Structure 1
Amino acid sequence: MTDEALIPYDTTLFVRDHCLCLHAQRAARALARRFDDALRPLGLTNGQFSLLMALNRPEPPPMGPVAAVLAMDRTTLTAALKPLERRGLVVVGPDPRDRRGRLLRLTREGRRLLTEAFPIWQDTHAKLDAELSAVDMNTLRTGMMAIA
């Protein structure tokens, strides 16, 4: 085997500059850090905020629809719920209509924390929108939702 590259470096640069997956991953990490930093004083990550918000429904949802909204499998959702359960923010209980199923419910403390976190999310989002004023955010969101 030689040290000679099989794919020219120009191709590497092309992929770096055009790969939607790479750019989406980099953007997702940057956004996650920004929202993690903003929510840190409340002891929340951006993922935990999204999970709490996904549970903010008139009726406690089953795991399947929550996992679908968050684009995660049930095993990952179960792991993500554990620290929120330990903090008393979420209760996972049996579904009275189907004892095999589980319903997810925000506790009073979970609703209180979500109420405190939402203005932080709004402020962080407003700053981000202002920084990206040259970008059509509705088109960006529509494109991202189409991919997801």
Structure 2
Amino acid sequence: MQQNDETDLRLLAALQRDATLTAQDLGERLNLSPSQAARRRQRLEQTGVITGYRATVAPERVGLGVEAFIQVMMAAHSEANANDFRRMCDRREEIVGVWVMTGEADFMLRVWCADLAALSRLVQQALLPHPAVARVQSQIVMDRVKADAPLPVSAG
């Protein structure tokens, strides 16, 4: 693994705040020429430090009114069950994040649904009937205080 210097970390911090920055913009912020900034960004992309770029979408503007986290406890712990459950999660577009957890829950799902009825359908018609699932516990997000903040990259 290549060690990133302070300039790389500053570049990463800037791109996490605004991925649309041009090489000119980055150069000005980092005290580099645009070509130097572009080469650094390209190296970080090629080495897998930067894994992609995306737009941030306002959920309410696209009809998504309910965000929830769902803890899933598995009925049986086998590789086949876990893989089948992962495939099901991958196919469901309302499931936007899946984590394998320690503790009581085996998986934590982050979901976005149009409304509570859609969340109920996801739980009742997709999650609970799945043969690998023993039980689920949902928490509905009331307010997003600090959501999807940039990673804490720094030189220290």
Q: TM-score, normalised by structure 1?
A: 0.32
Structure 1 or 2: larger helix share? 1
* TM-score (norm: length of structure 2): 0.31
